[in-house]
């Protein structure tokens, strides 16, 4: 069978661009055992066509913007050429796998069965891709993503149905495992103190990824009187050599670090190949994820704890539930002081993680082979025009129960909004949200309780409540 895979992100021979592209590569290898796979990805000056193996060829021919995100932030000519390329390479395919739902040229692929995989429900092109390709089955990587997609599609006020299959990401625990050697001197051969604490803040160059928050935390730790100096590692994104805007991002980080008086404690390191990531986790004493970015599945933190390295992350997006239980330390977004206190406890050994227990949980729930098998099954069933996933109605009824939007975090005096990345403190909105969360009432029951219709409409437009039974119990 001929499978055509569409990716707005790049595919490299020796590097992975991020968690989404790492998952994609694993899916490709799974498909290649039985199918011929042609991958269309973004055209970049540093990419040439290549083969991953005899059954997988990668063609960087899609004329998106070279660097990610905002792939459609390019010229009309390039977008038109992109549409033509999609038609050229998909017309003889038996099935299309649309990775990250960012391929919006549905008209060019009519008649060919297609399935979408939605990695993060945040970027505009992803949302547009979902709306355009709504008739396709959608694969999501968490219950959080599933709930967000249903809520967003229902807000169109359109009737219809959508099919969604949840396939949680897989973690290869044979690749990510505790390593006893200390790799600080190997990875960072520059002259540093003989012994020091290393904390790392992974992620690409986006403000929401939490690098500035990590600098603030480092500033607190350097003044905490710890027995060893603390250094913070931040990766230079792989796109830095072809995107001049990224240099401005790192210049701002440098300025912020100097303002905090911690510039000498910053390590800007090269983007690590996937094969080197276990060594990076092993070298680190702590991994941070303090940004506001609402991950649908944070691979990094599961990988780190499988290597025996503790993490402190902000409770946003799916990070509220993945990794599960107490395997990860969570703080409210913006609570840098709380994160610094927990970090100090980890560095001093007063707080520890139970690595073997975590690894068992990861193996049982987030199996690597399980993920690949389920993706291949979904793509093959789509090719055979068999339905996959669970079907949801998108019709809205005035008699539906209300629920809290999946991107909202409840609190007694405030709510956190994943998409607005801020706190809502309006007392009436907060009271309404807590009532809805407790009772899951109908619209008229809220009115009878004393909440006005205007307040209900405001809460709905703000994205605090939804006019349908929520999926939060599944999270």
Q: Is the pLDDT of residue 471 over 80?
A: no
Q: What is the pLDDT of residue 474?
A: 37
Three-state DSSP at 183 gives coil
Q: What is the pLDDT of residue 463?
A: 96
Do 2-170+368-393 and 184-365 show the same overall fold? yes
pLDDT in tens, 28-66: 999 999 999 999 999 999 899 999 999 999 999 999 988
pLDDT in tens, 337-366: 999 999 999 999 999 999 999 999 999 999
pLDDT band at 108 (very low <50, low <70, confident <90, very high): low
Closest listed residue to residue 327, CA positions, set 368, 364, 292, 362: 362
Q: What is the pLDDT of residue 381?
A: 97
> How many C-beta neighbours within 10 Å does residue 138 have?
26
By the 8 A CB rule, do 105 and 128 touch? Answer: no
> How many C-beta neighbours within 10 Å does residue 79 have?
16
Dist CA 60 CA 48 (whole Å): 7
Dist CA 126 CA 148 (whole Å): 12
pLDDT in tens, 369-379: 999 999 999 99
Average pLDDT, the chain: 91
Residues in the chain, overall count: 475
pLDDT in tens, 200-254: 999 999 999 999 999 999 999 998 999 999 999 999 998 888 888 889 999 999 9
**Three-state SS across 293-347?**
CCCCCCHHHHHHHHCCCCEEEECCHHHHCCCCCCCCEEECCCCHHHHHHHHHHHH
Half-sphere exposure of 80 (CA within 13 A, CB side): 3
Dist CA 178 CA 454 (whole Å): 55
Q: Is the pLDDT of residue 273 over 80?
A: yes
pLDDT band at 282 (very low <50, low <70, confident <90, very high): very high
Report the pLDDT averaged over residues 428-445.
95
Report the pLDDT averaged over residues 100-113.
76
pLDDT band at 472 (very low <50, low <70, confident <90, very high): very low
Report the pLDDT averaged over residues 122-147.
89
Angle, CA of 112, 11 and 179, to the nearest 5°: 125
Helices (H), 200-243: 211-222
**Burial class of residue 365, CB neighbours in 10 A (0-12, 13-18, 19+):** middle
Q: What is the pLDDT of residue 69?
A: 78
Report pTM.
0.92
Report the pLDDT averaged over residues 89-109.
83
CA 181 to chain centre: 30
By the 8 A CB rule, do 74 and 45 touch? Answer: no
- Name the residue with tokens 């506001």: 292
- Name the residue with tokens 């033509």: 84
Comparing 198-207, 363-372, 387-396, 407-416, the range with the smallest average pLDDT is 387-396
Axis-axis angle for helices 355-365, 299-306 (nearest 10): 130
- CATH architecture classification, 184-365: 3-Layer(aba) Sandwich (3.40)
Half-sphere exposure of 331 (CA within 13 A, CB side): 20
pLDDT band at 473 (very low <50, low <70, confident <90, very high): very low
In 190-303 the beta strands, taken as DSSP E runs, fall at 197-200, 230-235, 266-269, 286-289
Domain ranges of the chain: 2-170+368-393, 184-365, 403-468
Structure tokens at 118: 């939605």
**Burial class of residue 438, CB neighbours in 10 A (0-12, 13-18, 19+):** exposed
By the 8 A CB rule, do 409 and 475 touch? Answer: no
H/E element, 137: strand 137-140
- CATH architecture classification, 2-170+368-393: 3-Layer(aba) Sandwich (3.40)
pLDDT band at 96 (very low <50, low <70, confident <90, very high): very high
Q: What is the pLDDT of residue 100?
A: 83
pLDDT band at 192 (very low <50, low <70, confident <90, very high): confident
Q: What is the pLDDT of residue 468?
A: 57
Q: What is the pLDDT of residue 431?
A: 97
Sequence-separated (6 or more) residues with CB below 8 Å from residue 348: 226, 227
């Amino acid at each position: 069978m001929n499978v055509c895979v569409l990716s707005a992100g790049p595919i490299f021979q020796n590097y992975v661009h991020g968690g989404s592209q790492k998952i994609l590569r694993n899916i490709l290898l799974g498909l290649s055992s039985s199918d011929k796979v042609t991958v269309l990805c973004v055209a970049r000056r540093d990419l040439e066509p290549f083969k991953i193996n005899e059954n997988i060829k990668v063609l960087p021919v899609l004329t998106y913007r070279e660097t990610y995100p905002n792939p459609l932030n390019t010229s009309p000519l390039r977008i038109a050429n992109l549409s033509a390329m999609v038609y050229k390479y998909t017309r003889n395919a038996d099935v299309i796998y649309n990775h990250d739902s960012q391929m919006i040229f549905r008209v060019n692929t009519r008649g060919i069965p297609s399935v979408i995989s939605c990695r993060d429900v945040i970027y505009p092109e992803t949302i547009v891709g979902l709306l355009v390709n709504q008739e396709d089955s959608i694969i999501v990587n968490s219950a959080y993503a599933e709930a967000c997609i249903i809520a967003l599609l229902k807000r169109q006020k359109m009737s219809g149905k959508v099919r969604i299959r949840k396939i949680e990401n897989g973690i290869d625990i044979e690749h990510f495992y505790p390593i006893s050697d200390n790799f600080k001197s190997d990875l960072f051969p520059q002259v540093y103190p003989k012994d020091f604490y290393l904390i790392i803040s992974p992620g690409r160059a986006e403000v929401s990824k939490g690098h500035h928050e990590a600098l603030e935390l480092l500033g607190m730790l350097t003044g905490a009187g710890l027995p060893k100096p603390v250094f913070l590692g931040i990766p230079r994104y792989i796109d830095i050599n072809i995107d001049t805007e990224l240099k401005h991002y790192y210049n701002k980080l440098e300025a912020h670090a100097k303002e905090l008086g911690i510039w000498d404690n910053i390590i800007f390191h090269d983007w690590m190949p996937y094969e080197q990531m276990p060594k990076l986790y092993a070298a680190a004493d702590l991994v941070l994820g303090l940004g506001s970015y609402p991950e649908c599945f944070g691979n990094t933190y599961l990988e780190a704890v499988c290597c025996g390295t503790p993490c402190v992350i902000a409770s946003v997006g799916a990070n509220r539930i993945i990794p599960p239980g107490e395997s990860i330390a969570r703080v409210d977004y913006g609570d840098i002081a709380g994160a610094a206190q927990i970090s100090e406890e980890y560095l001093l050994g007063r707080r520890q993680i139970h690595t073997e227990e975590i690894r068992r949980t990861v193996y049982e729930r987030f199996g690597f082979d399980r993920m690949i098998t389920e993706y291949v099954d979904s793509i093959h069933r789509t090719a055979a025009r068999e339905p996959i996933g669970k079907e949801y109605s998108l019709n809205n009824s005035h008699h539906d129960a209300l629920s809290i939007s999946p991107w909202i975090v409840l609190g007694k005096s405030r709510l956190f909004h994943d998409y607005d990345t801020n706190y809502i403190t309006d007392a009436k909105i907060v009271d309404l949200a807590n009532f809805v969360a407790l009772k899951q009432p109908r619209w008229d029951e809220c009115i009878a309780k004393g909440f006005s219709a205007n307040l209900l409409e405001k809460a709905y437009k703000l994205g605090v409540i939804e006019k349908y039974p929520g999926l939060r119990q599944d999270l």
